[in-house]
Amino acid sequence: MAKDAIRKLQQQLITASDNQWYATTVKLADEYLELQPDSIKAMLDKGHALTKLARYDDALSSFEAAIEKLGDQSPDAIYGEIGNLYRDRGDFAEAAEFYKRQIEGDPSDATGRLFLGTLQFQQGNFADAEKTLRDGLACEVGCEEELRYALGCVLRSAGQLELAKAEFEEVLRIVPKDVLAKNAVKDLQGMRS
CA–CA dist 190, 159 (Å, integer): 14
With 0-12 / 13-18 / 19 or more C-beta atoms within 10 angstroms meaning exposed / middle / buried, residue 77 is middle
CATH of the domain at 128: 1.25.40.10
Hey, what amino acid is at 10? Q
Residue 59 in any domain: the answer is: no
Contact 44, 64 (CB under 8 A): no
Residue 67 in any domain: the answer is: no
Model's pTM, two decimal places?
0.88
Give the pLDDT of residue 193.
Answer: 53
Contact 15, 6 (CB under 8 A): no
Residue 191 in any domain: the answer is: yes
Cβ within 8 Å of residue 88, ≥6 positions away: 51, 52, 54, 56
CA–CA dist 178, 192 (Å, integer): 23
Residue 122 in any domain: the answer is: yes
- Do 138 and 82 share a structural domain? yes
For residue 175, the enclosing domain spans 146-193
Residue 69 in any domain: the answer is: no
Give the pLDDT of residue 190.
Answer: 76
Residue 138 in any domain: the answer is: yes
Helical spans, DSSP H, in 19-141: 22-35, 40-52, 56-69, 76-89, 92-105, 111-122, 126-137
- Do 151 and 124 share a structural domain? no
Give the pLDDT of residue 88.
Answer: 96
Residue 63 in any domain: the answer is: no
Collapsed DSSP state (helix, strand, coil) of residue 19: coil
- Do 158 and 117 share a structural domain? no
* Radius of gyration from C-alpha coordinates of the chain: 19
- Do 85 and 32 share a structural domain? no
- Do 153 and 118 share a structural domain? no
Domains in the chain, number: 3
Q: How many CB atoms lie within 10 A of CB 62?
A: 26
Taking the chain (193 residues) in runs of 10, the rounded mean pLDDT of each run is 85 95 97 94 96 97 96 91 97 98 95 97 97 96 94 97 97 96 93 62
